[in-house]
Amino acid sequence: MDWDAYHKRMAWYTEARFGMFIHWGLYSIPARGEWIRSTERISIEDYQQYFDEFDPVDYDPRAWARAAREAGMRYAVLTAKHHDGFCLFDSQHTDYKATNTRAKRDLVREFLQAFRAEGLKVGLYFSIIDWHHPDYPAYGDRQHPMRDNPAWKGRAHNFDRYLDYMHAQVEELVTGYGQLDLLWFDFSYDHLRGEAWRATDLVRMVRRHQPQVLIDNRLEASGEGFGSLLTDAPAEYAGDFLSPEQIIPPRGLVNHRGEPVAWEACVTMNNNWGFHGTDNYFKPAPMLVRKLVECVSKGGNLLLNVGPTARGLIPEPSLNILAEIGRWMRLNGESVYGCGHAGLDKPDYGRVTRRGQTLYYHIFDMPVGYVPLYGVQAEQIRSVRLLSTGHELQVERNWITNNYPDLCFVSLGPDPVPPDLTDTVIKVELRDE
């Protein structure tokens, strides 16, 4: 791997730290999850009703983009094609696409235009598996809707022909839609990994057209693994970052030498990626703010999902959560963007993020009395400020703090309740070493 080129193309990504994942497609109509074809073993014929009905009359990607930007997100990734094979873009290699529905629109092109106009980086999710294509393995596969349907036993398929199709669609996306900042492939499993997808050829084709685009690690792994990016000799298709799903790695992620690697936790707001009509189990905004900070403190990004409705609207609970996150980010985003590991132990009361000579102490659980600034001494400090207001906080030296000479303490004032119950951030600028 050309590590100089790698770090150059990764610069915006490790600065951004916070993105929006968008799962949207035909499965938004039955609204029982994006895997509905597999979980309910629905045939192509029975699934056709959703294709015939698909008409997102309220789709306004400009509204989506504003919601993402106002939440403090810096990039977004849309499902151009999910496992059911339905394309939100106007692919010339299939009739199974949004332009052939009542929508009669290239929904991907509109998404890209709207998000770019808001100054956000843009990415596309693309499923390398496809339950609609006749040459994708069905009977006996672990996930295909017809995996145990005896009527499909013995059906012939030409996997090379499927790969030609899949590669051609990816080439459409990287040649026909302007600069893409990120490609999110999903996913490898069992024997279908790496070169089973002709992954080297696929990545070379992508990088020939778009050398700056970032690629995830799922051409050789999935949420179940990490792949060769953790080794000294990553495969050409190893990707640029790891993609843990529905979990924040307990200690972050490092390679075999213990060096941090780029990663992104993809997380749902409720319990489903696609819109689910009865899933109202949403994570509250304060929790998601703290999870974002946790990711950053461990050197990672957070890709937070929304699942728009069949009409094309981001659900109201998701919009409310995004707005609340945005209010915190407007005052405290400095402690997220471009920050990472602090090189300090996690404090009892929260997390620490760092950018250069600036430390950000995040208070989730207010200490009694003074706040200990673990890992620094008073003489190392140039200034201490409450990030949300910029006002000075003073280092406390008194009969209480003097009992702990190895620690530096600051006071937030007489109120035992912190200024921000979600996360109060103390900004500490250190003197040059």
Average pLDDT over residues 9-25: 98
Q: Which residues contact 276 (CB under 8 A, 6 or more apart)?
A: 31, 32, 33, 270, 307
Please list the alpha-helical segments (H only) found in 301-377: 316-332
- pLDDT for res 222: 87
Q: Which amino acid is at 191?
A: H
pLDDT in tens, 369-405: 999 999 999 999 999 999 999 999 999 999 999 999 9
- pLDDT for res 433: 74
- pLDDT for res 130: 98
Question: Would you tell me the crossing angle of helices 316-332 and 285-297 to the nearest 10 degrees?
Answer: 50
Q: Which residues contact 127 (CB under 8 A, 6 or more apart)?
A: 79, 81, 82, 83, 85, 185, 186, 187
Average pLDDT over residues 234-243: 97
- pLDDT for res 6: 93
Average pLDDT over residues 287-299: 98
What is the domain partition of the chain in residue ranges?
3-335, 350-430
Average pLDDT over residues 208-228: 94
pLDDT in tens, 146-176: 999 999 999 999 999 999 999 999 999 999 9
pLDDT score of 60 more than 90: yes
Q: How confident is the model at residue 223 (pLDDT cuts 50, 70, 90)?
A: confident
The DSSP H or E segment spanning 63 is helix 61-70
CA distances from 291 to 18, 44, 76, 320 (A): 11, 39, 18, 17
Average pLDDT over residues 138-142: 97
Separation of alpha carbons 363 and 178, rounded Å: 42
pLDDT in tens, 68-98: 999 999 999 999 999 999 999 999 999 999 9
401: its two tokens: 């703090």
- Report the CATH number of the 350-430 domain: 2.60.40.1180
Which range, of 12-16, 220-224, 262-266, 359-363, averages the lowest pLDDT? 220-224
Q: Which CATH number fits domain 3-335: 1.10.10.10, 3.40.50.1370, 3.90.1300.10, 3.20.20.80?
A: 3.20.20.80
- pLDDT for res 310: 98
Extract long-range pairs of 347-353: CB within 8 Å, 24+ residues apart: 347/372, 347/374, 350/290, 350/293, 350/423, 351/290, 351/293, 351/294, 351/297, 352/297, 353/293, 353/296, 353/297
Separation of alpha carbons 387 and 403, rounded Å: 28
- pLDDT for res 287: 98
pLDDT score of 267 more than 80: yes
pLDDT score of 1 more than 80: no
Average pLDDT of the chain? 97
Residues forming beta bridges with residue 108, ordered by sequence position: none
pTM score over 0.95 = yes
